[in-house]
Amino acid sequence: MKSLFTKRALMHIPHGLAFMLLFLLPPVAVGVAAAVLWAVFFLLYELDQDWHVKDGAWRDIIGFLEGVILGAPMYYYAYPWV
């Protein structure tokens, strides 16, 4: 049986992957703006939830960051000159 941390981290990896996919939107400025908005709203939601529910939102944020790390190669394959 997986721990609570593992389950919650796995649930939030797709959010990190979506963040990286938004970076690939053309033109680049639109993709970066969309990705930054996605991340800001996600972090605000998680911090607000932790403030009100006290559920340990850091687990969700770690899952988000794991998704970003897993999705980073997509960005470098799409833009190899970066």
Q: State the pLDDT at residue 1.
A: 52
| Sign of the C-alpha dihedral computed for residues 51, 52, 54 and 56 taken in this order | negative
pLDDT band at residue 82 under the 50/70/90 scheme: low
Give the tens place of pLDDT for each residue, 13-58: 888 888 888 888 888 788 889 889 999 999 999 889 888 888 888 8
Q: State the pLDDT at residue 40.
A: 92
Give the structural domain span for 69. Answer: 4-78
**Tokens 């979506």 correspond to what residue?**
18
| Total count of domains within the chain | 1
Cβ 68 vs Cβ 21: under 8 Å: no
